[in-house]
Amino acid sequence: MAKAVCDRLFINAHLATMTKGDEPYGAIDADSLAISGEKISWMGLAESGAPEAREVIDIEGRWMTPGLIDCHTHLVYAGNRAQEFEMSLNGATYEEIAAKGGGILSTVKATREASESDLAAESQIRLEAMMAAGVTTVEIKSGYGLDLENEVKMLEAAKHLGEINPVRVVKTFLGAHALPPEFAGDSDGYMAKVIHEMLPTIHALGLVDAIDAFCEKIAFSEDQVRQLFKAADKLNIPIKLHAEQLSNQRGAELAAHFKALSADHLEYIDERGVKEMAKAGTVAVILPGAFYYLRETQKPPIELFRKYNVPLALATDCNPGSSPTTNPQLMMNMAAVLFRMTPEESLAGFTRNAARALGLSDKIGTLEIGKQADLAIWDIEHPSELTQAIGANPLHSRYFGGHK
């Protein structure tokens, strides 16, 4: 019987599979990994049964992990908000900047004025930086259009980025991000527009992989978001939520009620909210970049999430106003230093748990036979270095679907 032949065989590797088990980082007694087509087809010791390969790649003792997954970004936008950063340093709060027409609405103005091609070109630069840091999957939210035409434009730009780059793009409709100026004082009216016009149209266009909303005093109430989630649920659209970032609005409990994939930020969540997330299997997406940039002091309750076994994901939250970064390694370091997450938790936050936060854990997030061959190869001596070094980029090479 002819011996199986794979497309690529990586040898002389250290494998951090990031599967959940007894060994730190899911490290296994193996030094080789094989790819057939776009999937992992074999892992083991080269000397004991490695398949024949069309191409053999010696990675010379480097570490291999799953490709990184950035599960919460606002990557597609136009303009910048450097002046608001200066306002913040001079003492203005997030709420005060928003009340003066800044914050999200200043990006809305710039994004509405940009063409789809301009949006894609500007966002391409940010996406390339992420890919250069080992990212193979990125979630991209809309939410800077706040009307049908411009929300579609943003999601089309996100779709285009996924088509022209070796990266998986997950498109999230965030029409309920802020109240547009034309609906000032009429949040119910705008939410009705989101629910009855924008959501069904965007769904029909095939541009929505998930839906999100901002449940907060300066955004939308729990009841308004509940009506949106009911509409999404009828369309079988997966749900995510910006929750408990600036106050406890019981958004995480609402998200859990709808079996949301994730609730994100969560600085002000209490034990009741954590318990509901645990029951629902909802992932906690921790966003240290926004916490740091906004100089917040209320930390997410990491110990409570651990106590109730709520999976902890991490993301850059790449956006122009509160987390202008494309650097996952920096976020890992911040999560460790600011929130005392361990290096293993931090890396799991950008791999295994990030995949779960996107509903993709059956396809990506760990090195396992049958999963997508999204790989990151690192010039490190131990996986903890990915968290320990401040903003470093030790990436040696990156493979998406088995291709460099």
- Going from the C-alpha of 306 to that of each of 16, 284, 386, the distances in angstroms are 22, 11, 22
Q: What angle do CA 197, 203, 207 make, to 5 degrees?
A: 120
Q: What is the pLDDT of residue 104?
A: 80
**In terms of Cα–Cα distance, which of 233, 234, 235, 287 is closest to 261?**
233
Q: What is the pLDDT of residue 342?
A: 98
Q: Please return the burial class of 194, using the count of CB atoms within 10 Å of its CB with bins 0-12, 13-18 and 19+.
A: buried
Q: For the chain, 404 residues long, give each residue's pLDDT as a single digit of tens.
A: 566 799 999 999 999 999 998 899 999 999 999 999 999 999 999 988 899 999 999 999 999 999 999 999 999 999 988 888 888 789 888 678 877 777 788 899 999 999 999 999 999 999 999 999 999 999 999 999 999 999 999 999 999 999 999 999 999 999 999 999 999 999 999 999 999 999 999 999 999 999 999 999 999 999 999 999 999 999 999 999 999 999 999 999 999 999 999 999 999 999 999 999 999 999 999 999 999 998 899 999 999 999 999 999 999 999 998 999 999 999 999 999 999 999 999 999 999 999 999 999 999 999 999 999 999 999 999 999 999 999 889 999 999 999 99
Where does residue 119 fall: left (phi above 0), alpha (psi -120 to 50 degrees), or beta otherwise? alpha
Q: What is the pLDDT of residue 312?
A: 98
Q: Which residues are annotated as a binding site for Fe(3+)?
A: 72, 74, 242, 317
Q: What are phi and psi of 271, to 5 degrees?
A: -65, -35
Q: Which residues are annotated as a binding site for N-formimidoyl-L-glutamate?
A: 144, 319, 321
Query: What residue segments make up the domains of the chain, in order of their start?
Result: 5-66+366-399, 68-358
Q: Which residues are annotated as a binding site for 4-imidazolone-5-propanoate?
A: 81, 144, 177, 245, 322
Q: Which residues are annotated as a binding site for Zn(2+)?
A: 72, 74, 242, 317
Q: In angstroms, rounded to a whole number, what is the distance separating the alpha carbons of residues 80 and 144?
A: 12
Q: What is the pLDDT of residue 297?
A: 96
Q: What is the pLDDT of residue 2?
A: 60
Q: In angstroms, rounded to a whole number, what is the distance separating the alpha carbons of residues 24 and 403?
A: 28
Q: Which residues contact 12 (CB under 8 A, 6 or more apart)?
A: 31, 32, 46, 58, 59, 60, 61
Q: Which residues contact 94 (CB under 8 A, 6 or more apart)?
A: 88, 103, 218, 246, 294, 322
CATH architecture of 5-66+366-399: Roll (2.30)
Q: What is the pLDDT of residue 298?
A: 97
Q: What is the pLDDT of residue 99?
A: 76
Q: Which residues are annotated as a binding site?
A: 72, 74, 81, 144, 177, 242, 245, 317, 319, 321-322
- What CATH superfamily classification does 68-358 receive? Metal-dependent hydrolases (3.20.20.140)
Question: How many Cβ atoms are within 10 Å of 349's Cβ, its own excluded?
Answer: 30
